[in-house]
Amino acid sequence: MNAHLQATHRATPDRNLVHALPEQQLKRPKRTVLKLPESSRLLQQALQEAWPSLANDLEALSALAALGRMHRIRQRSCLLRDGTINHQGSLWLLVQGKLSMGSHDAKGVWRQSRALHAGQWIDLATAWPKASFPETALALTPVLAQEFPAQATLALCRSRPALLGALLDSLSRNACEAMASRQALATQDFPARLAEWLLAELRLNGFDDCLTLQQLKRDLAAQLCVTPETLSRTLRTFQEQGLLLMQHREIRFLNLEGLSALASRRPTL
């Protein structure tokens, strides 16, 4: 292995983020391309999770899976880097593992905006205009990700309208979620935003009524656009109200119905 690749896999998320391995190096099966049946099974599961409407259309999903290339990314390495142009025009799907989406601030501190699990699209929007990635995708665990060429995917969609419908649905949902997030930031009070965020994280990364925070409180505060003091004070209030119990990074939800009611609360005009 040459010195460049060795440096790539020693990179840490706060100092030296690296890109996914270049296309010419993806031909080395030891590092990036999985040819085992297990990878096909995981990819099928991820596609079914991403597009549940096609869960029973295995022929269409298999045709889509054949277009892509699998990437293996080590923990604490970078799959995509913010500001880098999507020259290949690729769609990216998380097949296995967890990703932290975000960026580093001027001091080199990682600021997470969201966490992704298997079966979620990492990036759909930049492929068509070949634009810059808006966020860095940092591996919280060892990660498998599938890269689909956008133009080949679109050509396949022309012959399989169900695929096109699923693709447009995902793009529309992403746009609506981004708009709702901006609107909530502008109009929703912080306790409601925090309750909504906690419930979303529980659905994605929790187990029954328990959730382990993947980031430091200061990083979560930055993600939610408040000070760490405001975050800590609001979490204490939630505990006093009997909504949850928090010990270090472990959260046990005591009243999910009450937290849901708080999340749906609208500001008083």
99 and 166, same domain (yes or no):
yes
Query: Does residue 269 form part of some domain?
Result: no
Q: How far apart are CA 267 and CA 269, in angstroms?
A: 6
Query: Does residue 241 form part of some domain?
Result: yes
Q: Which of 155, 181, 207 is the last residue of a domain?
A: 181
Higher pLDDT, 4 or 72: 72
172 and 199, same domain (yes or no):
no
Q: pLDDT band at 239, cuts 50/70/90?
A: very high
- The residue range of the domain holding 211 is 188-263
Q: Which of 157, 181, 205 is the last residue of a domain?
A: 181
97 and 142, same domain (yes or no):
yes
Residue type, 133: F
200 and 136, same domain (yes or no):
no
pLDDT at 233: 93
Query: Does residue 163 form part of some domain?
Result: yes
- Residue pLDDT, tens place only, 58-97: 899 999 999 989 999 999 999 999 999 999 999 999 999 9
Q: Is residue 173 pLDDT above 70, yes or no?
A: yes
Query: Does residue 18 form part of some domain?
Result: yes
Higher pLDDT, 267 or 62: 62
Residue type, 147: E
Residue 57 DSSP class: -
Q: Which of 139, 166, 181 is the last residue of a domain?
A: 181
CATH of the domain at 27: 2.60.120.10
* Mean pLDDT value across residues 3-30: 41
Contact 173, 165 (CB under 8 A): no
Query: Does residue 154 form part of some domain?
Result: yes
Instruction: At 228, list the tokens.
Output: 């760490």
* Mean pLDDT value across residues 244-253: 92
Mean pLDDT is lowest, of 6-10, 102-106, 188-192, 261-265, for: 6-10
pLDDT at 187: 56
Q: Is residue 268 pLDDT above 80, yes or no?
A: no
User: How many structural domains compose the chain?
Assistant: 2
pLDDT at 184: 60
Query: Does residue 268 form part of some domain?
Result: no
pLDDT at 37: 64
Residue from 136, 163, 144 nearest 16 by CA: 136
